[in-house]
Structure 1
Amino acid sequence: MGIFNRKHRSSSSSSSRSSDHRMSSLSGKVIMVTGGNSGLGKQSIMEFAKHEPAEIWLAARDLHRADQTVFELSRQFPTTEFNVLEMDLASLDSIRDAAETFLYSARRLDVLLLNARAGGSSSPPPSMTRDGYEGAFGVNHMGHALLTKLLMPVLLHTVRHNRNGGCVADVHVVVVSSVLMNHAPRRGIRFDKLKAPPPPNRYYFSGRRFAFRNYAQSKLANTLFARRLAREYPQLTVAAVHPGIVRTNIMGVIARHDVLAKLGRPISQACMASVQDGIQNQMWAATSQDIISGEYYSHVGVKGRMNKLARTIFWQRNYGNGLR
C-alpha cells in the first residue's frame, strides 16, 4: 500500500477549452479518481486541480507511473495536495486494503469518480481477475462497486458534515459507463458466464466477440449500479456518464495487439473526440447541482438516453415487471 504526497502553491495554468465556466470553487473538498495515470482520468484531475480542492487521490495499480503523474501535476497545481493510493481493481483484497488506507487517512470525500476501465470494443480477449471473474466485468463493475461500498461511511459522513455546517449536502459519485452498453447480451448480464475463461487464442474472431460482449455488459452494469446506488442512498448525487469515443492512449495499446485496429487507426482517430472534450460530461456530473440522481447522461447535461434493456432490467429488479 503506498501513499505519496506532493504539496506546493497555486498555479494559474488553464486550457483553451476547459470546464471552468461550469465549475464553482472546490475549496476544501476531497476528490478520488480511479485510473488517473493517463487519458480521461489524468485530464479530469487536471481540471479539478484548477479549482484548488484540498486533496485529490489518484487510485492506481502502477505506483511508479502514478507517482510520476502526481509529481508532474503538483508542479502545475501547487496548492492542491495529491495522494497516490495503490489499488488493483482486479483484486478484491487490494481494493479492501486501499479503502482501509483511505478511511484511515482522509476525513471526507466529496467526489468519487469511478473512471478506470478494462477492455474495450477492440481489445484482446479479456483476462480473469485474481478472484476468478471475467476481467472487464470484474474491474469495471465489481471492483468499483466494492470500492464504493467500502467508502460509503466517509461519503455519508461528508454529507452530514456539510449539513451540520449549513452547506449543501453535495457529495457526488460518478460512474463512467459507455454507450456500448447497448451491445450487451439481449437478456442482460450473463451472470452464469462471469467465471467463464476467454476462448482459446486460436479462435481470433470468437475472442473478439467475447471481449466486446463482456465489455458491453460491464458498462450496462455500471449504469444499473449508478441507478441502484441513487435509490439506496438519496443523500448522494449519483450519475452514470458516457464520455464519448475519445482518443486516449488505450488506442495505441489496442493497435499493438490487433491488426484490424492498427490498419483502421488513422481513420478512427480522426473521428474521435479529444481527451479534453471527452471529460466534459464527467466533470459536469461531478460538480453540477443540476444532476438528477441515478440518471445516465450521454452528453453534457443530456439525460433520458438510457437504453431500453437497462430500463427494463432496473424496473423489473426493483418494481416488478411494470416499466416507467
Structure 2
Amino acid sequence: MGIFSRKPASVRSETRMPSLTNKVIMVTGGNSGWGKQSIIEFAKHEPSEIWLAARDTYRANRVIDEIYKDFPHTDFKVLELDLASLDSVYDAAETFLSFASRLDVLLLNARASSGSCSAPCMTRDGYEASFGVNHMGHALLTKLLMPLLLRTVRKNRSGGHVADVHVVVVSSVLMNHAPRRGIQFDKLKAPPSKYSRLTLRPYAQSKLANTLFARRLAREYPQLVVAAVHPGVVRSNIMGVLARHEGGVLGRFGRPLSRACMASVEDNIKNQLWAATSQDVVSGEYYSHVGVRGRMNKLARDDLLAEKLWQWTEVELENYIALNTRCSD
C-alpha cells in the first residue's frame, strides 16, 4: 500500500498516492521534519524533479545527498530561499523560473514562530516574524510562480492529461487561537508583545492567514487545486525551538512534549501529501485529516476577512515588486 494506506474511517475514497512521473515539485523548508519526509515520500513515486527550497543550503545539500542514494531516478535540486526576506524570495523565484519548464506541486511547508527569533521579532522587510515568513514570504513566492503554475495547467490539458496542479499551504489547528479579530492588520508591522509571544497568538494569526490565503487563492485561480492543511502535531523541531527561546510553560514543557507526546513525522504528513496529489481535493478547503474537510472556526470561513487579507497582501507585494523593478533598471 502507498503512503495513504492508513486513513480515517470517514475517508472512503482511494487514497493511494498516484504516479508522479514527469512532475516537478517544490517543497519549502525541506531540511528536516515535515518537509524532508514529504520529499522522501514524493521521491518514491519518481517525479521528474524535486526542488528543496531552504535558507540553509549547506544542510539542504546534505539532505539531498542522503535522499539521492535511495532515489537515483529523480533529479533533486536545492534552491536558496529565506522566507524572512522578500529579496531572497524574489531571487529564488527568478532562479527557479530560469531552470524549470513546469511546476505541478507547490508545497508551502516552511514555517516560523516569533519564539524562534531574537527580539525584535521582525523580518528584514518589517513584518512580524511569524506573519512575514509564514504568509508574506509564501504569498510572494506563489505570486511570482503563478505564471508557470498556470502554464503547467495548459500543458496538461493540451497533452490530454488531467490538468490538476496543486498548491498546498500548511496551516495548523492553532489558527483557532488567533486574536478575536482574526488578523490584526494594525500590528502586522510591529513586534509582538511578550505576552502575545507566550500565548502563540502571532503564530496562530499567521496560520489563520495561511488558511484564508488558500481559500482566496482558490477563488482567484479556479484552474488550480488549492488546499490548506493541518499537518498533525508531530515530533518536529518547532516546539523545541519555542522552548529554547521562551520561558514559562513553553520552556518547561515544550521540549518534553516534542519528544514524548507527539506522533512521528511519517504518520502525520499523510494529510499534506494527499492534498498535494489527490484528485479528490476540493479546492479552497482546509483539511484537518486526510480527506476530512470543513473543520474550521468562524474566522477561517470568513470570506470578507479573506478578501481583506488578500487585498492588503496584494498592495504590499505590488509595492515591493514595483520598487524591486525600479531598483533593477
- The answer for the alignment partner of 2:269 in structure 1 is 279
Displacement after TM superposition at 1:268 (Å): 5.5
Count residues in correspondence: 297
Paired residue type of 1:105: F
2:189 paired residue among 177, 195, 198: 195
- The answer for the alignment partner of 1:7 in structure 2 is none
SS in 2 for 1:296: strand
Distance 1:290 1:305, change over 3 A: same
SS in 1 for 2:189: coil
Q: Deviations over 1:231-265 (max 9, x none)?
A: 01000000000011111123333333345435323
Output the CA distance in 2 between the equivalents of 1:179 and 1:103: 33
Q: Which moved more, 1:228-237 or 1:251-260?
A: 251-260
SS in 2 for 1:240: strand
Displacement after TM superposition at 1:121 (Å): 7.9
Paired residue type of 1:248: S
| 2:235 is aligned with 1:247 | yes
- The answer for the alignment partner of 1:214 in structure 2 is 202
Q: What TM-score do you get using the length of structure 2 for normalisation? A: 0.85
SS in 2 for 1:293: coil
- The answer for the alignment partner of 1:25 in structure 2 is 19
Q: What TM-score do you get using the length of structure 1 for normalisation? A: 0.86
Output the CA distance in 2 between the equivalents of 1:71 and 1:146: 29
Displacement after TM superposition at 1:306 (Å): 1.5
Q: Within 5 A, what are the aligned runs for 1:229-268? A: 229-259=217-247, 260-264=249-253, 265-267=255-257
Output the CA distance in 2 between the equivalents of 1:214 and 1:37: 24
Output the CA distance in 1 between the equivalents of 2:306 and 2:113: 27
| 2:55 is aligned with 1:55 | no
CA RMSD of the aligned region, Å? 2.2
Gaps of at least 5 residues in structure 2 are: 6-14, 309-329
Q: Is the 8 A contact 2:192 2:202 kept in 1?
A: no
- The answer for the alignment partner of 1:44 in structure 2 is 38
Q: Is the 8 A contact 1:17 1:276 kept in 2?
A: no
SS in 1 for 2:41: helix
Displacement after TM superposition at 1:156 (Å): 0.4
Output the CA distance in 2 between the equivalents of 1:276 and 1:250: 16
Paired residue type of 2:148: V
Displacement after TM superposition at 1:32 (Å): 0.1
Q: Within 5 A, what are the aligned runs for 1:1-324? A: 18-19=3-4, 22-119=16-113, 127-199=121-193, 205=195, 207-209=197-199, 212-259=200-247, 260-264=249-253, 265-267=255-257, 269-312=259-302, 314-315=303-304
Paired residue type of 2:35: G
